[in-house]
Amino acid sequence: MNIVLGITGGIAAYKTPELVRRLRGRGADVQIVMTASAEEFVTATALQAVSGRPVRSNLWDQKAEAAMGHIELARWADVVLIAPATAEIMARLAGGAAPDLLTTLCLATEAKIAIAPAMNHVMWSNPAVQSNRELLEERGIMILGPEHGSQACGETGAGRMLEPDDIAAAVCAADLGGNATAGLLAGRTVLVTAGPTREPIDPVRYITNRSSGKMGYAMARAAAAQGARVVLISGPVNLEDPHGVEVHRVETAEQMHVETHRNISEVDIFIGAAAVSDYRPTETAPQKIKKQEETMTLKLIRSEDILASVARLDHAPFTVGFAAETENVRDYARGKLEDKRLDMIVANRVGDDCGFDHDDNTVDVLWPNGEKAFPMTAKSELAHTLIELIAERFESMRGDDTQPELSVISARD
């Protein structure tokens, strides 16, 4: 897939080297075209390094035009993606103006155009910008985002550029009329549980844990990026809904269990990344418990193991568990793989430098007859690698399914 990535002058341009990496990670060739104002926010040197191609910015650059003229470039593109797209570029596109290389390309191309707007939320809600958005949409331009959230200007509202991963996922998964790769999980449904659960003691207190949900959310994004339909069942976390993912919010382990089984029938791959509370109070007090005695005892009861209950189903999906351990990580994880009858387990050590609430993670992945170690990596990066491995193991097990007797033995015992 050939992508012309147009970068315009908004602060979100600082995220574009990451976007280029995400697009290339999905097999796309990326040619960058920057506007003059984009150069104020991100350097051509960085973009050239990550894209592996000289950056284009000037319509009148004779040397660059001799190598690949702007009309040739317009034909080369399967998709023209503009990220970030400012209010200015939207107005230029709406008006058909072509004062620079990027806008000229947009007029000269027959490729699909996608834009990821990014601007202050008041600008985004301005009627002029909204009427340009409508016009561009009517003309078939794909509008990706923006998201609601905190903005570089310090305010909060709708106008944040989608995360690079979400943009890359949307561009690569959408049928854009080019040679878009559908992804390793196209046509599959993946269900992910993420975050902690909250088990109420009384109306104001609960038992919970330190899970941030980051790893589960990263897994959901990465699965969506590989073309899967993704359902994310999330405990209470402070994270934005991943773009293109169906999010169901729950609080307690029991609700997560019910919601999982309500959605499990069409699922091909189940990823249990939630830190489900193992115990819950046997009773929830209807009123706030008053302090009286010097000590008090809470009676707890075991929660149902959601992951094991899914793996036990007659037509169980491919089940992947997570195991957070503070010691003997691989031994405990292999024990869980076997006890819960999983197809794969991702084991990570939790400590001061990794695991809960950190952006980085280092894991060992184990399956019935193999294992692989992954060094410390950002959770979002690691999630992509894990999803690739899951897709590979899932496909190889499906291959085994053509010999049913053997597969049951090799996969489960």
Check if 153 is active-site.
Answer: yes
- Least Å distance, CB 202 to ligand C5P, is 22
Contact status: 336 vs ligand C5P (CB under 6 A): yes
Q: Which amino acid is at 95?
A: G
Picking from 169, 157, 43, the residue whose alpha carbon sits closest to that of residue 116 is 169
- Least Å distance, CB 223 to ligand C5P, is 15
Choice from 30, 176, 323, 411 touching ligand C5P (CB under 6 A): 323
Please give the C-alpha separations between residue 9 and each of 33, 292, 378, in angstroms, as whole numbers. Answer: 12, 62, 28
For the purposes of burial, counting CB atoms within 10 Å of the CB of 311, is it exposed (0-12), middle (13-18) or buried (19 or more)?
Answer: buried
Please give the C-alpha separations between residue 378 and each of 13, 216, 233, 239, 335, in angstroms, as whole numbers. Answer: 21, 13, 22, 16, 27
Choice from 184, 274, 347, 391 touching ligand C5P (CB under 6 A): 274
Contact window for ligand C5P (CB under 6 A) among 22-30, 151-159, 304-312, 403-411 = 304-312
Choice from 114, 306, 365, 411 touching ligand C5P (CB under 6 A): 306
What are the DSSP calls for 151-194, one per residue? -TTS-EEEEEPPPHHHHHHHHHHS--SS-----TTTT-EEEEEE
Q: Contact at 8 Å (CB) between 356 and 212?
A: yes
- Least Å distance, CB 324 to ligand C5P, is 7
Q: Contact at 8 Å (CB) between 147 and 117?
A: no
Q: What is residue 235's three-state secondary structure?
A: coil
- Residue in 106, 153, 172, 354 annotated catalytic: 153
Picking from 88, 111, 83, the residue whose alpha carbon sits closest to that of residue 5 is 83
Contact status: 321 vs ligand C5P (CB under 6 A): yes
Contact status: 17 vs ligand C5P (CB under 6 A): no
Contact status: 303 vs ligand C5P (CB under 6 A): yes
In the region spanning residues 373 to 412, those forming contacts with ligand C5P, defined by CB under 6 A, are none
Give residue 268's Cα distance to chain centre: 18
Site track for ligand C5P across 167-206, x = CB under 6 A: --------------------------x-------------
Choice from 206, 322, 367, 394 touching ligand C5P (CB under 6 A): 322
Active-site residues, by number, are 153
Sites of contact with ligand C5P (CB under 6 A): 193, 253, 272-274, 276, 278, 303, 305-307, 321-323, 336
